[in-house]
Every structure is written in structure tokens, then in C-alpha cells.
């Protein structure tokens, strides 16, 4: 529930009461000097108007809060307010007239009853002004809340998308690696242990991150080294990996685990589909403010690609778009028997 805009803090209450005191004073002085009313009548009338008005000003808020068009309909809202105003102003008028009739002089009573509109009009005006002010206030608060909610939702969706896009660990890779390890335990337990450590480090790196996090190129490359070492045990001489990295790029940042799917793709469509050696080559350099990473792999052009090709790359593209708000940060092309992926990472 929205807190009362006036009662929610002492400062607002003070300003509110101050404004009403000024209103009472002006009303009193006006009638005392500019009308035939006595001092007592002028003061009492002004005080009554002020006390009623200030209480009403506070109370209207609750009427507005429980009787707004979206809830009870526009027609009902208007009727409710007219009724409330009518009842309230009638009571106020009745009290003012009665007091003047029974406690002050006849001239006061005559004047007040002849000019009662002077006390009714400000109350009507105040009622309408408060209603409008409160409605505007409520709509503004709702609008802000809505906007914030919207921002929160978009952020949540984006976050979810990012995490989804972040390379999901491929169970195929995991089980095949475990199978290689199981083979190594038979022939070369020392190498098996080495491989378990590689695999553990790789898993740690890939699991403990969220989709938005940035990493350094050197950390990414280290992870690719692990990945390629693991895959090399599976595929042996069918894989050959070389990296050509300009040293000033090593501290560049890029989304964590953005390179691994590129290599997974190269292995899936290059190495796993071929019986010959497949070269996978990475190069990294800095151009203006962009880190340019190119990964090339050979593939067998006579082996038709299966569907699902390029899904990993699409994910990378989406991720880059979400993180850098920029299209076209991933490019790829096929030429003869070379597949090339180019990542352009803003620094």
C-alpha cells in the first residue's frame, strides 16, 4: 500500500499545517477587515474552515486510495466523491451557520447566511484540488513502480538468457573424456591422473561463472589449452592446435567461456568428422579498441554438415549482443576446407 503522501514524514506534516495556518490567518484577516463580521465570528469561521479543511485534506487520500476508476469504475468514483463532498460540506456549513446563529450577533448571522457561498466555495475548491493532487500522485507512484518492475523484469530475462547462452557443458564431451581417462588408467595411470586434474580445472572454470562475467584473455586461453589437451587424448594426432597471440592482448577482457564453444564447434564439425589431421589455429590481436580473435579450422568439405551446426555460434553471437549491446561481433565464413570464426570484442 502506498503510504500517505503527507503523513509519511514529519516535514510534510509541518508544511501542511503551516499552509493551513496561513490559510486560516488570511481568511480571518480578510473577513475581519473587509466584512462587517465581528472579531469572534471571523476567527471562529476561519478556524472551523481550517480545521475541517486540514482534516479533510488528510482523509481524502483514503477515499482516493479505495475509490479509483480502475477499481470501482469512473462513474462510481465521481459519484462517491460528489457524495462525500456534499455530506462533508453540508456538515461544515451547518456548524458554521449554527455557531453564528447561537453564539454571535444577529448581524454576523445575517451576513454569514447571506454570503454562505464564501465558505462553501473554498471547501469545494479544496476538495477538488486534493482529489486531483492525490490522483496525480498515485499515478506517478504507480508509473514509477511499473517502470522499475519493467526494468527489473528485463534485467531478469537478460540474465536468464545470458546464463542459458553460456556454453552448457556438453555431456558428450564429459563422458567421452571420462572414457579416455578410464582407458589411460589401464595403460598410463600417471597420465590418467594428469588428465583428471585437467578435467577438474576445466570444469571448475566453466561451472563457477555466470553469463555476464568477464575474464582475461590469458585465463580464457589457459582454459582452451586444457580443453584441447583433453580432446587431444581422445583424438590423438587428428587434432593439431596452435595459438598465435600478440602479448599486449593477454590482459584484454572478454566474456568468460566465450571461446570454448568455438573450439567445441571446430572439433565437432572438423575433427570428429574427419579421419585426417585437422589444424585448429587461433590468433589474437588488438585493433584500435577491439580485441580480434580468429579461430580457423580445417574440415572435410565432402562430409555434409549435420543440422545443429552453428547453434553454438549463434549462442555466442547472442551473448555478445546482450553483453555489449552491439550486433555483428561474431563473423564466420567457410572457404574451401577452412572454417573461420572471428570474434570482435570491445575493450
CB of 299 to other proteins, least distance (A): 11
Q: Which of 40, 138, 174, 313 lies at the binding interface for other proteins (CB under 8 A)?
A: 174
DSSP per-residue string spanning 188-205: -HHHHHHHHHHHHHHHHH
Q: Which of 75, 207, 304, 328 is in the footprint of other proteins by CB under 8 A?
A: 304
How many chain residues bind other proteins (CB under 8 A)?
29
Q: Are 277 and 345 in contact (CB under 8 A)?
A: no
Distance CA 97, CA 326 (A): 73
Q: Which one of 78-86, 213-221, 247-255, 270-278 is the stretch in contact with other proteins (CB under 8 A)? A: 270-278
Residues in the chain: 347
- Does 236 help bind other proteins (rule: CB under 8 A)? yes
Dihedral sign (CA 96, 97, 103, 106): positive
Nearest 10 degrees: Cα torsion 116, 119, 122, 127:
-100
Tell me whether residue 182 or residue 193 sits nearer to other proteins (CB atom). 182
- Residue 300 sits in the site that holds other proteins (CB under 8 A): yes
- Asked if residue 181 binds other proteins (CB under 8 A), the reply is yes
In the list 169, 272, 292, 344, the residue contacting other proteins (rule: CB under 8 A) is 272
* CA angle, residues 74, 77, 80, in degrees to nearest 5: 150
| Binding span for other proteins by CB under 8 A among 49-57, 125-133, 151-159, 269-277 | 269-277
183 scored as a contact of other proteins (CB under 8 A)? yes
Distance of CA 336 to the CA centre of its chain: 46
Q: Give the distance, in angstroms, between the CA of residue 141 and the centroid of all CA atoms in the same chain.
A: 17
CB neighbours of residue 307 within 10 Å: 6
Residue 303 binds other proteins (CB under 8 A): yes
240 in contact with other proteins (CB under 8 A): no
Q: Does 233 bind other proteins (CB under 8 A)?
A: yes
Q: Is 184 in the site for other proteins (CB under 8 A)?
A: yes
From residue 27, how far is each of 39, 41, 89, 208 by CA, in Å?
12, 12, 17, 71
Contact map string, positions 56 to 95, toward other proteins, x by CB under 8 A: ----------------------------------------
Under the binding rule (CB under 8 A), the answer on residue 168 touching other proteins is no
| x-marked contacts with other proteins along 116-145 as a string, rule CB under 8 A | ------------------------------
Interface residue with other proteins, options 307, 325, 327, 333 (CB under 8 A): 307
Name residue, grid cell 454570503: 115
Query: Is 186 a residue that touches other proteins (CB under 8 A)?
Result: yes
**d(Cα 325, Cα 128) in Å, to the nearest integer?**
48
Binding residue (CB under 8 A) for other proteins from 187, 242, 247, 289: 187
Distance CA 7, CA 225 (A): 64
Query: Closest distance between other proteins and the C-beta of residue 267, in Å?
Result: 11
- Of the candidates 256, 258, 228, which has an alpha carbon nearest to the alpha carbon of residue 243? 228
Mark out the alpha helices in the chain (DSSP H runs): 10-34, 39-66, 69-72, 74-103, 106-114, 117-165, 171-187, 189-207, 217-235, 260-266, 311-324
Does residue number 265 form part of the binding site for other proteins (CB under 8 A)?
no
Enumerate binding residues for other proteins (CB under 8 A): 171-172, 174-176, 178-184, 186-187, 233-236, 272-275, 300, 303-308
Amino acid at each position: 500500500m502506498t503510504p500517505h503522501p503527507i503523513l509519511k514524514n514529519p516535514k510534510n506534516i509541518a508544511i501542511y499545517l503551516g499552509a493551513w495556518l496561513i490559510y486560516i490567518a488570511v481568511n480571518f484577516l480578510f473577513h475581519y477587515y473587509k466584512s462587517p463580521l465581528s472579531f469572534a465570528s471571523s476567527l471562529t469561521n476561519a478556524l472551523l474552515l481550517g480545521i475541517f479543511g486540514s482534516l479533510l485534506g488528510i482523509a481524502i487520500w483514503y477515499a482516493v486510495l479505495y475509490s479509483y476508476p480502475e477499481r470501482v469504475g469512473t462513474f462510481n468514483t465521481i459519484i462517491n466523491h460528489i457524495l462525500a463532498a456534499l455530506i462533508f460540506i453540508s456538515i461544515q456549513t451547518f456548524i458554521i451557520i449554527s455557531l453564528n446563529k447561537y453564539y454571535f450577533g444577529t448581524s454576523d448571522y445575517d451576513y454569514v447566511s447571506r454570503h454562505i457561498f464564501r465558505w462553501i466555495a473554498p471547501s469545494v475548491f479544496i476538495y477538488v484540488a486534493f482529489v486531483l493532487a492525490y490522483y496525480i500522485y498515485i499515478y506517478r507512484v504507480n508509473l514509477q513502480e511499473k517502470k522499475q518492475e519493467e526494468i527489473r523484469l528485463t534485467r531478469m530475462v537478460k540474465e536468464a538468457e545470458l546464463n542459458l547462452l553460456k556454453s552448457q557443458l556438453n555431456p558428450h564431451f564429459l563422458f567421452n573424456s571420462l572414457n579416455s581417462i578410464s582407458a589411460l588408467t589401464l595403460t598410463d595411470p600417471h597420465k590418467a591422473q594428469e588428465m583428471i586434474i585437467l578435467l577438474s580445472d576445466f570444469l571448475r572454470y566453466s561451472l563457477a561463472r555466470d553469463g555476464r562475467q568477464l575474464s582475461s584473455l590469458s585465463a580464457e586461453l589457459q582454459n582452451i589449452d586444457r580443453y584441447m589437451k583433453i580432446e587431444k587424448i581422445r583424438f590423438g594426432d587428428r587434432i593439431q592446435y596452435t595459438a598465435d597471440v600478440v602479448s599486449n592482448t593477454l590482459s584484454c577482457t572478454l566474456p568468460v567461456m566465450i571461446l570454448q564453444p568455438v573450439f567445441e564447434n571446430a572439433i565437432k564439425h572438423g575433427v570428429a568428422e574427419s579421419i585426417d589431421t585437422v589444424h585448429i589455429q587461433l590468433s589474437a590481436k588488438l585493433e584500435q579498441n577491439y580485441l580480434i580473435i580468429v579461430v580457423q579450422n580445417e574440415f572435410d568439405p565432402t562430409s555434409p554438415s549435420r543440422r545443429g551446426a552453428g547453434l553454438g555460434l549463434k549462442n555466442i553471437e547472442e551473448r555478445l549482443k546482450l553483453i555489449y549491446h552491439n550486433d555483428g561481433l561474431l563473423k564466420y565464413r567457410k572457404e574451401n576446407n577452412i572454417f573461420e570464426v572471428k570474434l570482435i570484442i570491445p575493450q
